[in-house]
Amino acid sequence: MNAISVSRQRLCRGQRWVIKIGSALLTNGGRGVHRSAISAWVAQMAALRARGIEVVLVSSGAVAAGMDRLGWRRRPESIHQLQAAAAVGQSHLVQVYEQAFGDFDIPSAQILLDHDDLSNRTRYLNARSTLRTLLSLGSVPIVNENDTVVTDEIRFGDNDTLAALVANLVEADALLIMTDADGLFSEDPRENPRAELIAEASALDPRLLQVAGESRSGLGRGGMATKVRAAQLAARSGACTVIAGGAREAVITRVCAGEPLGTLLLPEAGPLAARKRWLAGQLQVRGAVVLDRGAETALLERGRSLLAVGVTGVEGCFRRGDLVSCRNSAGREVARGLVNYDSRESLRIQGQPSEKFIDLLGYRDDDELIHRDNLVLL
Ligand SMILES: Nc1ncnc2c1ncn2[C@@H]1O[C@H](COP(=O)(O)OP(=O)(O)O)[C@@H](O)[C@H]1O
Ligand SMILES: N[C@@H](CCC(=O)OP(=O)(O)O)C(=O)O
C-alpha cells in the first residue's frame, strides 16, 4: 500500500469518531431499510470499538424508511405526514441497528435531539454527559433528529448539521459523512460524470461551497452544501471530516486506516486549541469564582481541572453550564470555563472535597467544578 499522507495519518490517530449515514444509502435509494448494508457497517464499527475507538452514529433514514413501510412513493409535503413517517421509520431503523449491534454484544442506544437540546446550556451539558457516559459504557449511541416533535423553527434542517454539532458536543477527532456520492466533486457527478473528486482541502476554503450542490435523490435533504457546512462546523472543535461513498467495500475500516478514500476536509487549528477558542468566543461571562494559591498553580502550571476545594469565593448568579471567570486572590482573571454546578451549589461546595458533595448537595455529578477541557487559561 502507498505511504499514508500526513493528514490521513492524523485521521488514523482519531480515538472518537462520529459517523453519519444518509437516507439514500440506508434505504438503498428508497427501497426500504438496507439490512445487509447496515450489518456490514455495524461490523466495521464493532471492529473499531474492539480497538478502543469510540463511535457515535448519526443515522438519517427515518422518513425514508417510514415512507417505504407506509407504501408512500413520494416524500410528503405536509409536516405532520413527514413526522408520522419518521415515527414509523425510526422505530424500524433502531430495531435493525439494535439487532445488528447485538450480534457483537454491543448495546446500542437511541438518542433523539432537537435544536433546543443543543442551544440550551443545561440540556447541552446533559446531552453531553449522557453521550460520554454511553461511550464509556462501550455503547454506540445512534442519534437522529427528533422529527416527531420538531417544528420548522427548531429543526436542524438536515442530519449533516446535526452530525457536526454532535462532533462538537462529544469533542470528536473525526466526522465521517457517508453518502451515495464518492466524496465532494468539482461538480455534481450526477450532472457531469467527468467531474473530479476533491481529495483534500481546508474545511474553510470558500471555493468548496461554490461546487457543492443540492440533493437530487428526493430522499435526503442536505446535498453536498450541508456536508461542507458540517465540515466547517466540525472544524470549530478541531475535528477532521471525511465525505465518502458509503457503498464502497469496507469504507469505514479503510477510511479509519488512512486510505485516501473520499474527500478529507481539515480544520485549521488543533483540536484543543480550536475547542477552547470556540468556548471562549461563544458565551457571556455569568459570574466568578475566586481561587486559592494551590488551585491557581494547578490550573496555570499543571493544566489541571478546577476542584471546589481550591475555591474561596463565588460571585454572581450562574447556572450549570454557564461561563464563569476564575480570579486569583489578587483579583486578576486567570481563566474562564464552563461550570458544572450552579452558583448556589458552588457556594455550598466551595472549599470542600468532592467526596462531601453528596452530604452537601444531596447528589454528586461531576468531581470537578470546571473540567480542564472546558477551561481557557488567560
Ligand atoms: N459537488 C458535488 N459533489 C458530489 N455530490 C454532489 C455535489 N453537488 C451535489 N451533489 C449531490 O449530493 C448528493 C448527496 O447528498 P444527499 O442526497 O443529501 O445525501 P444524504 O442522504 O447522504 O445526505 C449526491 O447524490 C449528489 O447528487
Ligand atoms: N431526521 C431525518 C433526516 C433527514 C436528512 O437530513 O437526511 P439526509 O440528508 O439523508 O441525511 C430522517 O431520519 O429522515
d(CA 67, CA 89): 7
Residues 174 and 105 in one domain: yes
Q: How confident is the model at residue 152 (pLDDT cuts 50, 70, 90)?
A: low
Domain boundary among 251, 271, 291: 271
**Is 330 part of any domain?**
yes
The minimum-distance atom of ligand 2 relative to the CA of 21 is 11
Q: What does the pLDDT read at residue 77?
A: 84
Where does a domain end: 249, 271, 293?
A: 271
Which one, of 218, 221, 241, 219, lies nearest residue 230 by Cα?
A: 241
CB 181 within 8 A of CB 157: no
pLDDT mean across residues, the chain: 90
- 289 phi and psi, to 5 degrees? -125, 145
Query: Same domain for 295 and 267?
Result: no
The position carrying cell 467527468 is 194
Give the total number of structural domains in the chain.
Answer: 2
Residues 250 and 311 in one domain: no
Same-domain check for residues 235 and 342: no
| C-alpha R_g of the chain | 22
Res 271 pLDDT > 80: no
Per-residue pLDDT at 220 exceeds 80: no
Q: Report the nearest-CA residue for atom 3 of ligand 2.
A: 60
Domain of residue 258, residue span: 6-271
**220, 243: one domain:** yes
Asked if residue 1 has pLDDT above 80, the reply is: no
Coil, helix or strand at residue 311: strand
For residues 240 and 297, membership in a common domain is answered with: no
Model confidence over 80-137: pLDDT tens digits? 898 999 999 999 999 999 999 999 999 999 999 987 787 776 778 788 889 989 999 9
Q: Ligand 1: residues within 6 Å at CB?
A: 22-25, 60, 179-181, 184-185, 187-190, 211-213, 215-217, 219-224
Q: Distance from first CA to last CA of the chain, Å, rounded?
A: 46
Helices and strands, number each (H, E), in the chain = 15, 13
Instruction: Give per-residue pLDDT as tens, 332-362.
Output: 999 999 899 999 999 999 999 999 999 999 9
155, 301: one domain: no
Same domain, yes or no: 170 and 300: no
Query: Does residue 1 lie within any of the structural domains?
Result: no
Q: What is the pLDDT of residues 310-337, one digit of tens each?
A: 999 999 999 888 889 999 999 999 999 9
346 marked as part of a ligand binding site? no
pLDDT value at residue 219:
60
Q: Answer yes or no: is 114 a known binding residue.
A: no
Helix, strand, or coil (residue 291): strand
Rounded mean pLDDT, 133-145: 95
